[in-house]
Amino acid sequence: MIKNSSSVTKTLILSACVLLSLFSLGCSKSDNKTSKVLQAAISPSIPPFTFEENGQVVGVDIEIFKGFCESRGYTYNLKAYDFQGMLGAVASGQADVAFSGISITPKRQEVMDFSNPYVENGWNLVSLTKRNIKITDLSQIKKYSIGFPTGAVFMGYIEKEWVPTGIYPINKVKLYPSMSEALTDLSNGNLDLVFVDSSMLLTYVNKMKMPLTSSYEIPYSDKLGFAFVKGSPIREEFNKYLAELGSEKILAMETKWSK
- The per-residue pLDDT for 173 is 97
Strands 227-228 and 173-176: unpaired
Sign of the CA dihedral with 254 first, then 199, 11, and 76 last? positive
* Number of C-beta neighbours around residue 172 at 10 A: 13
- The per-residue pLDDT for 132 is 86
**Distance in angstroms (rounded) separating the CA atoms of residues 40 and 226:** 10
- The per-residue pLDDT for 35 is 55
**φ, ψ for residue 168 (rounded to 5)?**
-155, 130
**Distance in angstroms (rounded) separating the CA atoms of residues 210 and 49:** 17
- The per-residue pLDDT for 143 is 95
**Distance in angstroms (rounded) separating the CA atoms of residues 110 and 169:** 27
**Distance in angstroms (rounded) separating the CA atoms of residues 259 and 257:** 6
CB of 184 closer than 8 Å to CB of 128: no
Kindly write down the DSSP assignment for every residue of the chain, as one continuous string. ---SHHHHHHHHHHHHGGGG-EEEE---SS--TTSPEEEEEE-SEETTTEEEETTEEESHHHHHHHHHHHHHT-EEEEEE--HHHHHHHHHTTS-SEE-SSPBP-HHHHTTSEEPPP-EEEEEEEEEEGGG----SSGGGGGGS-EEEETT-THHHHIIIIITTTTSS-GGGEEEESSHHHHHHHHHTTS-SEEEEEHHHHHIIIIIS---EEEEEEEEEEEEE--EE-TT-SSHHHHHHHHHHHHHHHHHHHHHHHT-
| pTM greater than 0.95 (yes/no) | no
In one-letter notation, the amino acid at residue 167 is I
Strand partners of residue 214 = 126
pLDDT averages per 10-residue partition of the chain, 259 residues: 40 42 41 69 96 96 98 97 96 98 96 97 96 94 96 95 96 95 96 96 95 95 96 97 97 95
In one-letter notation, the amino acid at residue 158 is I
